[in-house]
Structure 1
Protein backbone atom coordinates (compact mmCIF):
# COMPACT_ATOMS: atom_id res chain seq x y z
CA UNK A 1 0.00 0.00 0.00
CA UNK A 2 1.36 3.39 -0.97
CA UNK A 3 -0.37 5.78 1.43
CA UNK A 4 -2.46 5.77 4.60
CA UNK A 5 -4.06 8.92 6.00
CA UNK A 6 -4.44 9.62 9.72
CA UNK A 7 -6.47 12.45 11.26
CA UNK A 8 -5.48 13.34 14.82
CA UNK A 9 -7.08 15.81 17.19
CA UNK A 10 -5.47 19.10 16.16
CA UNK A 11 -7.74 22.09 15.49
CA UNK A 12 -9.53 22.54 12.18
CA UNK A 13 -7.77 25.91 11.74
CA UNK A 14 -4.58 23.94 11.04
CA UNK A 15 -6.07 21.72 8.32
CA UNK A 16 -4.46 22.06 4.86
CA UNK A 17 -6.61 23.00 1.90
CA UNK A 18 -7.22 19.48 0.58
CA UNK A 19 -8.57 18.36 3.96
CA UNK A 20 -10.87 21.37 4.21
CA UNK A 21 -12.27 21.20 0.70
CA UNK A 22 -12.48 17.55 -0.36
CA UNK A 23 -11.04 14.91 1.98
CA UNK A 24 -12.93 12.19 0.09
CA UNK A 25 -10.68 12.89 -2.90
CA UNK A 26 -7.45 12.27 -0.94
CA UNK A 27 -6.06 8.87 -1.99
CA UNK A 28 -5.67 6.03 0.48
CA UNK A 29 -7.61 4.69 3.48
CA UNK A 30 -8.22 6.75 6.61
CA UNK A 31 -7.76 6.10 10.32
CA UNK A 32 -9.21 8.60 12.77
CA UNK A 33 -8.40 9.58 16.34
CA UNK A 34 -11.25 10.56 18.62
CA UNK A 35 -13.34 13.43 17.24
CA UNK A 36 -11.44 13.51 13.95
CA UNK A 37 -13.73 10.68 12.90
CA UNK A 38 -16.76 12.98 13.17
CA UNK A 39 -15.16 15.43 10.76
CA UNK A 40 -14.31 12.70 8.26
CA UNK A 41 -17.76 11.10 8.38
CA UNK A 42 -19.42 14.48 7.88
CA UNK A 43 -17.30 15.00 4.75
CA UNK A 44 -18.08 11.69 3.08
CA UNK A 45 -15.15 9.66 4.38
CA UNK A 46 -15.59 6.44 6.39
CA UNK A 47 -12.39 5.68 8.31
CA UNK A 48 -11.25 2.07 8.53
CA UNK A 49 -10.59 2.46 12.26
CA UNK A 50 -11.61 4.85 15.03
CA UNK A 51 -9.28 5.01 18.04
CA UNK A 52 -8.96 7.06 21.23
CA UNK A 53 -10.38 7.78 24.64
CA UNK A 54 -13.08 9.94 22.99
CA UNK A 55 -13.01 12.44 25.82
CA UNK A 56 -13.50 15.23 23.28
CA UNK A 57 -16.57 13.56 21.71
CA UNK A 58 -20.03 13.72 23.25
CA UNK A 59 -22.33 10.72 23.49
CA UNK A 60 -24.16 11.59 20.26
CA UNK A 61 -20.90 11.87 18.33
CA UNK A 62 -19.61 8.60 19.78
CA UNK A 63 -22.82 6.88 18.72
CA UNK A 64 -22.39 8.26 15.21
CA UNK A 65 -18.80 7.03 15.07
CA UNK A 66 -19.78 3.54 16.26
CA UNK A 67 -22.62 3.38 13.76
CA UNK A 68 -20.34 4.19 10.84
CA UNK A 69 -17.02 2.57 11.75
CA UNK A 70 -16.94 -1.14 12.50
CA UNK A 71 -13.41 -1.13 13.95
CA UNK A 72 -13.95 1.08 17.02
CA UNK A 73 -11.39 0.99 19.83
CA UNK A 74 -12.06 3.01 22.97
CA UNK A 75 -9.41 3.44 25.67
CA UNK A 76 -9.74 4.91 29.17
CA UNK A 77 -8.59 8.54 29.54
CA UNK A 78 -6.08 7.43 32.20
CA UNK A 79 -3.53 5.72 29.97
CA UNK A 80 0.19 5.87 29.22
CA UNK A 81 -0.13 6.62 25.49
CA UNK A 82 -1.69 9.61 23.78
CA UNK A 83 -4.49 9.11 21.28
CA UNK A 84 -1.97 10.04 18.57
CA UNK A 85 0.45 7.30 19.59
CA UNK A 86 -2.29 4.69 19.76
CA UNK A 87 -3.73 5.73 16.41
CA UNK A 88 -0.47 5.85 14.47
CA UNK A 89 0.71 2.51 15.89
CA UNK A 90 -2.62 0.85 15.08
CA UNK A 91 -2.63 2.28 11.55
CA UNK A 92 0.87 0.98 10.90
CA UNK A 93 0.05 -2.46 12.30
CA UNK A 94 -3.09 -2.90 10.22
CA UNK A 95 -2.06 -1.04 7.06
CA UNK A 96 1.63 -1.43 6.16
CA UNK A 97 2.33 1.44 3.76
CA UNK A 98 5.10 3.41 2.10
CA UNK A 99 3.96 6.64 3.74
CA UNK A 100 1.63 7.81 6.50
CA UNK A 101 0.12 11.25 5.92
CA UNK A 102 -0.75 12.56 9.38
CA UNK A 103 -3.05 15.55 9.78
CA UNK A 104 -3.84 17.37 13.02
CA UNK A 105 -0.45 16.60 14.58
CA UNK A 106 1.06 20.07 14.82
CA UNK A 107 -1.57 22.55 16.02
CA UNK A 108 -3.35 23.11 19.29
CA UNK A 109 -1.58 22.14 22.50
CA UNK A 110 2.21 22.46 22.47
CA UNK A 111 2.70 19.42 24.71
CA UNK A 112 0.80 17.28 22.22
CA UNK A 113 2.84 18.65 19.33
CA UNK A 114 6.12 17.92 21.13
CA UNK A 115 4.97 14.40 21.93
CA UNK A 116 4.28 13.89 18.22
CA UNK A 117 7.57 15.47 17.18
CA UNK A 118 9.62 13.17 19.42
CA UNK A 119 7.94 9.91 18.40
CA UNK A 120 11.16 8.71 16.67
CA UNK A 121 12.70 8.18 20.11
CA UNK A 122 9.93 5.75 21.11
CA UNK A 123 11.28 2.27 20.19
CA UNK A 124 7.86 1.26 18.86
CA UNK A 125 8.24 3.81 16.05
CA UNK A 126 11.87 3.02 15.20
CA UNK A 127 10.93 0.80 12.27
CA UNK A 128 8.79 3.32 10.45
CA UNK A 129 9.16 6.90 11.74
CA UNK A 130 10.83 7.87 8.47
CA UNK A 131 7.56 7.01 6.72
CA UNK A 132 5.58 9.57 8.74
CA UNK A 133 4.70 12.88 7.09
CA UNK A 134 2.92 15.59 9.09
CA UNK A 135 0.92 18.11 7.08
CA UNK A 136 -0.87 21.25 8.22
CA UNK A 137 -2.03 24.49 6.62
CA UNK A 138 1.42 26.11 6.82
CA UNK A 139 3.91 23.33 7.60
CA UNK A 140 5.02 19.89 6.52
CA UNK A 141 7.34 17.72 8.59
CA UNK A 142 9.29 14.69 7.36
CA UNK A 143 11.57 12.52 9.51
CA UNK A 144 14.91 11.14 8.34
CA UNK A 145 17.26 8.39 9.47
CA UNK A 146 21.03 8.73 8.81
CA UNK A 147 21.87 8.73 5.11
CA UNK A 148 22.03 10.85 1.94
CA UNK A 149 18.88 12.57 0.68
CA UNK A 150 17.52 14.90 -1.99
CA UNK A 151 14.37 16.81 -1.04
CA UNK A 152 12.10 18.71 -3.41
CA UNK A 153 10.63 22.15 -2.90
CA UNK A 154 6.95 21.77 -2.00
CA UNK A 155 4.53 24.06 -3.78
CA UNK A 156 3.60 27.16 -1.81
CA UNK A 157 6.24 26.72 0.88
CA UNK A 158 8.75 29.55 1.33
CA UNK A 159 11.09 28.24 4.02
CA UNK A 160 12.88 25.01 4.85
CA UNK A 161 14.37 24.06 8.21
CA UNK A 162 16.67 21.20 9.17
CA UNK A 163 16.17 20.21 12.80
CA UNK A 164 18.14 17.51 14.58
CA UNK A 165 16.05 16.42 17.53
CA UNK A 166 19.09 15.42 19.59
CA UNK A 167 22.76 14.69 18.97
CA UNK A 168 23.84 14.63 15.33
CA UNK A 169 27.08 13.71 13.58
CA UNK A 170 28.43 15.23 10.36
CA UNK A 171 25.31 17.02 9.14
CA UNK A 172 25.81 18.57 5.71
CA UNK A 173 23.33 20.89 4.00
CA UNK A 174 24.85 21.14 0.58
CA UNK A 175 23.01 23.36 -1.86
CA UNK A 176 20.47 25.42 0.05
CA UNK A 177 20.63 29.20 0.44
CA UNK A 178 22.59 28.62 3.66
CA UNK A 179 24.93 25.64 3.71
CA UNK A 180 26.35 23.61 6.58
CA UNK A 181 29.44 21.40 6.55
CA UNK A 182 30.24 18.44 8.79
CA UNK A 183 28.33 19.80 11.77
CA UNK A 184 28.37 17.67 14.90
CA UNK A 185 26.59 18.45 18.18
CA UNK A 186 25.44 16.69 21.35
CA UNK A 187 22.19 18.65 21.57
CA UNK A 188 19.19 19.59 19.44
CA UNK A 189 19.36 22.55 17.04
CA UNK A 190 16.80 24.01 14.63
CA UNK A 191 18.48 25.38 11.52
CA UNK A 192 15.50 27.55 10.67
CA UNK A 193 14.51 29.92 7.85
CA UNK A 194 16.65 28.35 5.15
CA UNK A 195 15.44 28.51 1.55
CA UNK A 196 15.63 26.66 -1.74
CA UNK A 197 17.77 28.22 -4.48
CA UNK A 198 16.83 25.50 -6.97
CA UNK A 199 14.07 22.85 -7.03
CA UNK A 200 15.96 20.45 -4.74
CA UNK A 201 18.32 20.41 -1.76
CA UNK A 202 20.80 17.65 -0.94
CA UNK A 203 21.70 16.87 2.65
CA UNK A 204 23.25 14.03 4.60
CA UNK A 205 24.25 13.03 8.13
CA UNK A 206 25.89 10.05 9.85
CA UNK A 207 23.88 9.65 13.05
CA UNK A 208 20.88 11.10 14.82
CA UNK A 209 17.31 11.99 13.81
CA UNK A 210 16.72 14.95 11.48
CA UNK A 211 13.37 16.45 10.57
CA UNK A 212 12.89 18.65 7.53
CA UNK A 213 10.18 21.29 7.92
CA UNK A 214 8.89 23.19 4.91
CA UNK A 215 6.74 26.13 5.89
CA UNK A 216 5.11 29.41 4.99
CA UNK A 217 3.74 32.31 7.02
CA UNK A 218 0.08 32.41 7.93
CA UNK A 219 -1.98 34.87 5.94
CA UNK A 220 -2.50 38.13 7.78
CA UNK A 221 -6.21 38.86 8.22
Structure 2
Protein backbone atom coordinates (compact mmCIF):
# COMPACT_ATOMS: atom_id res chain seq x y z
CA UNK A 1 0.00 0.00 0.00
CA UNK A 2 1.35 3.40 -1.03
CA UNK A 3 1.11 5.97 1.77
CA UNK A 4 1.96 9.67 1.64
CA UNK A 5 2.32 11.45 4.99
CA UNK A 6 1.49 15.07 5.76
CA UNK A 7 2.83 16.84 8.86
CA UNK A 8 0.98 20.02 9.76
CA UNK A 9 1.83 22.56 12.42
CA UNK A 10 -0.19 21.22 15.35
CA UNK A 11 1.48 20.83 18.77
CA UNK A 12 3.91 17.95 19.32
CA UNK A 13 1.97 16.93 22.42
CA UNK A 14 -0.64 15.49 20.06
CA UNK A 15 1.82 13.49 17.95
CA UNK A 16 1.34 9.71 18.09
CA UNK A 17 4.16 7.76 19.73
CA UNK A 18 5.69 6.55 16.47
CA UNK A 19 6.06 10.12 15.20
CA UNK A 20 7.61 11.22 18.49
CA UNK A 21 9.92 8.26 19.03
CA UNK A 22 10.67 6.65 15.66
CA UNK A 23 9.58 9.00 12.86
CA UNK A 24 12.02 7.44 10.40
CA UNK A 25 10.21 4.11 10.79
CA UNK A 26 7.00 5.58 9.37
CA UNK A 27 6.71 4.40 5.78
CA UNK A 28 5.99 6.73 2.90
CA UNK A 29 7.02 10.07 1.46
CA UNK A 30 6.39 13.28 3.41
CA UNK A 31 4.86 16.66 2.68
CA UNK A 32 5.33 19.14 5.51
CA UNK A 33 3.58 22.41 6.26
CA UNK A 34 5.46 25.31 7.76
CA UNK A 35 7.04 24.35 11.12
CA UNK A 36 6.33 20.67 10.51
CA UNK A 37 9.25 20.79 8.08
CA UNK A 38 11.60 21.77 10.91
CA UNK A 39 10.53 18.79 13.01
CA UNK A 40 11.15 16.37 10.17
CA UNK A 41 14.55 17.83 9.31
CA UNK A 42 15.65 17.65 12.95
CA UNK A 43 14.73 13.97 12.90
CA UNK A 44 16.60 13.10 9.73
CA UNK A 45 13.64 13.19 7.31
CA UNK A 46 13.72 15.42 4.26
CA UNK A 47 10.18 15.98 2.97
CA UNK A 48 9.56 15.91 -0.76
CA UNK A 49 7.66 19.19 -0.46
CA UNK A 50 7.47 21.93 2.15
CA UNK A 51 4.47 24.26 1.96
CA UNK A 52 3.07 27.27 3.80
CA UNK A 53 3.68 30.88 4.67
CA UNK A 54 6.39 29.98 7.24
CA UNK A 55 5.13 32.65 9.60
CA UNK A 56 5.98 30.46 12.61
CA UNK A 57 9.56 29.77 11.48
CA UNK A 58 12.62 31.83 12.41
CA UNK A 59 15.03 33.13 9.77
CA UNK A 60 17.54 30.39 10.62
CA UNK A 61 14.87 27.70 10.38
CA UNK A 62 13.68 29.01 7.02
CA UNK A 63 17.28 29.05 5.77
CA UNK A 64 17.59 25.41 6.79
CA UNK A 65 14.42 24.53 4.90
CA UNK A 66 15.61 26.35 1.78
CA UNK A 67 18.96 24.57 1.95
CA UNK A 68 17.66 21.01 2.42
CA UNK A 69 14.22 20.75 0.80
CA UNK A 70 14.16 20.65 -3.00
CA UNK A 71 10.51 21.63 -3.50
CA UNK A 72 9.22 24.59 -1.48
CA UNK A 73 5.80 26.13 -2.05
CA UNK A 74 5.79 29.45 -0.21
CA UNK A 75 2.59 31.46 -0.09
CA UNK A 76 1.63 34.84 1.44
CA UNK A 77 0.40 34.91 5.02
CA UNK A 78 -2.84 36.46 3.75
CA UNK A 79 -4.34 33.72 1.61
CA UNK A 80 -7.65 32.02 0.86
CA UNK A 81 -6.68 28.54 2.05
CA UNK A 82 -5.00 26.89 5.04
CA UNK A 83 -1.70 25.02 5.17
CA UNK A 84 -3.61 21.73 5.42
CA UNK A 85 -5.56 22.49 2.24
CA UNK A 86 -2.34 23.48 0.46
CA UNK A 87 -0.54 20.35 1.63
CA UNK A 88 -3.39 18.11 0.51
CA UNK A 89 -3.54 19.77 -2.91
CA UNK A 90 0.23 19.24 -3.20
CA UNK A 91 -0.14 15.53 -2.51
CA UNK A 92 -3.02 15.20 -4.97
CA UNK A 93 -1.03 16.89 -7.73
CA UNK A 94 2.36 15.24 -7.25
CA UNK A 95 1.95 11.75 -5.82
CA UNK A 96 0.29 8.42 -6.38
CA UNK A 97 -1.17 7.05 -3.16
CA UNK A 98 -3.59 4.62 -1.58
CA UNK A 99 -3.83 6.56 1.69
CA UNK A 100 -2.84 9.99 2.98
CA UNK A 101 -1.91 10.04 6.66
CA UNK A 102 -2.19 13.48 8.24
CA UNK A 103 -0.35 14.31 11.48
CA UNK A 104 -0.28 17.58 13.42
CA UNK A 105 -3.89 18.28 12.45
CA UNK A 106 -5.32 18.36 15.99
CA UNK A 107 -4.66 20.31 19.17
CA UNK A 108 -3.99 24.01 19.41
CA UNK A 109 -6.40 26.23 17.49
CA UNK A 110 -9.93 24.88 17.22
CA UNK A 111 -10.65 26.78 14.00
CA UNK A 112 -7.78 24.92 12.32
CA UNK A 113 -9.08 21.60 13.67
CA UNK A 114 -12.52 22.29 12.21
CA UNK A 115 -11.04 23.12 8.81
CA UNK A 116 -9.30 19.74 8.84
CA UNK A 117 -12.44 17.86 9.87
CA UNK A 118 -14.55 19.63 7.23
CA UNK A 119 -12.18 18.92 4.32
CA UNK A 120 -14.45 16.25 2.88
CA UNK A 121 -17.28 18.75 2.52
CA UNK A 122 -15.21 20.72 0.01
CA UNK A 123 -15.60 19.88 -3.66
CA UNK A 124 -11.82 19.88 -4.17
CA UNK A 125 -11.30 17.08 -1.66
CA UNK A 126 -14.51 15.06 -1.52
CA UNK A 127 -13.43 12.56 -4.17
CA UNK A 128 -10.28 11.55 -2.23
CA UNK A 129 -11.43 12.09 1.36
CA UNK A 130 -11.92 8.38 2.07
CA UNK A 131 -8.17 7.97 1.55
CA UNK A 132 -7.37 10.62 4.18
CA UNK A 133 -6.65 9.50 7.77
CA UNK A 134 -6.04 11.99 10.59
CA UNK A 135 -3.83 10.47 13.28
CA UNK A 136 -2.84 11.78 16.71
CA UNK A 137 -1.89 10.40 20.11
CA UNK A 138 -5.47 9.49 21.09
CA UNK A 139 -7.46 9.35 17.84
CA UNK A 140 -7.63 7.77 14.40
CA UNK A 141 -10.12 9.54 12.12
CA UNK A 142 -11.50 8.21 8.85
CA UNK A 143 -14.01 9.84 6.49
CA UNK A 144 -16.79 8.30 4.43
CA UNK A 145 -19.11 9.21 1.60
CA UNK A 146 -22.43 7.36 1.13
CA UNK A 147 -22.29 3.60 0.71
CA UNK A 148 -21.55 0.36 2.56
CA UNK A 149 -18.40 0.55 4.69
CA UNK A 150 -16.21 -1.50 7.02
CA UNK A 151 -14.14 0.01 9.86
CA UNK A 152 -11.31 -2.06 11.33
CA UNK A 153 -10.31 -1.64 14.98
CA UNK A 154 -6.94 0.02 15.56
CA UNK A 155 -4.61 -1.20 18.28
CA UNK A 156 -5.16 0.42 21.71
CA UNK A 157 -8.30 2.24 20.58
CA UNK A 158 -11.25 1.52 22.88
CA UNK A 159 -14.05 3.74 21.57
CA UNK A 160 -15.48 4.67 18.22
CA UNK A 161 -17.73 7.61 17.43
CA UNK A 162 -19.65 8.25 14.23
CA UNK A 163 -20.25 11.89 13.33
CA UNK A 164 -22.50 13.03 10.51
CA UNK A 165 -21.60 16.50 9.26
CA UNK A 166 -24.92 17.98 8.22
CA UNK A 167 -27.88 15.91 7.03
CA UNK A 168 -27.65 12.12 6.92
CA UNK A 169 -30.04 9.61 5.38
CA UNK A 170 -30.62 5.95 6.27
CA UNK A 171 -27.66 5.53 8.62
CA UNK A 172 -27.19 1.96 9.86
CA UNK A 173 -24.65 0.85 12.47
CA UNK A 174 -24.96 -2.88 12.03
CA UNK A 175 -22.64 -4.71 14.42
CA UNK A 176 -21.26 -2.19 16.92
CA UNK A 177 -22.04 -2.36 20.64
CA UNK A 178 -24.77 0.27 20.21
CA UNK A 179 -26.66 -0.17 16.97
CA UNK A 180 -28.67 2.17 14.81
CA UNK A 181 -31.16 1.34 12.09
CA UNK A 182 -32.34 3.50 9.19
CA UNK A 183 -31.65 6.79 10.98
CA UNK A 184 -32.28 10.03 9.10
CA UNK A 185 -31.68 13.56 10.37
CA UNK A 186 -31.26 17.08 9.04
CA UNK A 187 -28.80 18.07 11.80
CA UNK A 188 -25.27 17.05 12.72
CA UNK A 189 -24.94 14.45 15.47
CA UNK A 190 -21.92 12.89 17.20
CA UNK A 191 -22.72 9.27 18.05
CA UNK A 192 -19.99 9.12 20.68
CA UNK A 193 -18.56 6.37 22.90
CA UNK A 194 -19.66 3.42 20.82
CA UNK A 195 -17.44 0.32 20.92
CA UNK A 196 -16.32 -2.59 18.79
CA UNK A 197 -17.84 -6.00 19.53
CA UNK A 198 -15.54 -7.69 17.02
CA UNK A 199 -12.53 -6.40 15.11
CA UNK A 200 -14.70 -4.67 12.51
CA UNK A 201 -17.91 -2.64 12.28
CA UNK A 202 -20.17 -2.59 9.24
CA UNK A 203 -22.14 0.57 8.62
CA UNK A 204 -23.95 2.20 5.75
CA UNK A 205 -25.80 5.37 4.78
CA UNK A 206 -27.50 6.65 1.65
CA UNK A 207 -26.68 10.36 1.79
CA UNK A 208 -24.42 12.66 3.81
CA UNK A 209 -20.81 12.75 4.99
CA UNK A 210 -19.53 10.87 8.05
CA UNK A 211 -16.36 10.65 10.14
CA UNK A 212 -15.56 7.53 12.14
CA UNK A 213 -13.35 8.46 15.10
CA UNK A 214 -11.54 5.71 16.98
CA UNK A 215 -10.17 6.95 20.29
CA UNK A 216 -8.74 6.10 23.69
CA UNK A 217 -8.78 7.91 27.02
TM-score range, shorter chain: over 0.9
Residues 1:115 and 2:93 aligned together: no
Corresponding residue for 2:8?
8
Superposition TM-score, scaled by structure 1 size: 0.96
TM-score, L = length of structure 2: 0.98
| Coordinate RMSD, CA, aligned | 0.8
CA distance in 1, matches of 2:96, 2:187: 33
- Equivalent-residue separation in structure 1 for 2:124 and 2:151 (angstroms): 26
**Alpha-carbon shift at residue 197 of structure 1 (Å):** 1.2
1:99 alignment partner in structure 2: 99
**Aligned residue number for residue 59 of structure 2:** 59
What residue is the counterpart of 1:178 in the other structure? 178
Residue 160 of structure 2: aligned partner: 160
Deviations 1:135-178 (A, max 9, x none): 00000110011111121111101100011111110000011110
User: Which sections of structure 1, spanning at least 5 residues, go unmatched?
Assistant: none
Q: Does 1:74 align with 2:71?
A: no
Residue 212 of structure 1, CA deviation: 0.3
For structure 2, the 5+ residue unaligned runs are none
Query: What SS does structure 1 have at the residue aligned with 2:130?
Result: helix
**Number of residue pairs the alignment of both structures matches:** 217
Q: CA deviation at 1:53?
A: 0.4
Alignment match, 1:198 = 198
Structure 1 runs of 4+ aligned residues shifted over 4 Å read none
Q: CA deviation at 1:108?
A: 1.1
String of CA shifts for 1:187-206, please: whole Å, max 9, x gaps: 11100000111111110111
Equivalences for 1:23-38 in 2 at 5 Å? Answer: 23-38=23-38
Q: CA deviation at 1:96?
A: 2.5
- Matched residue, 1:39: 39
3-state DSSP of counterpart to 1:81: coil
> Corresponding residue for 1:87?
87
> Per-residue displacement from partner, 1:55-93 (whole Å, max 9, x unpaired)?
010110000011110101111100010111111111121
- Cα displacement string for residues 26-70 of structure 1 (whole angstroms, at most 9, x for unaligned residues): 111000000000000111110000000000101100000111101
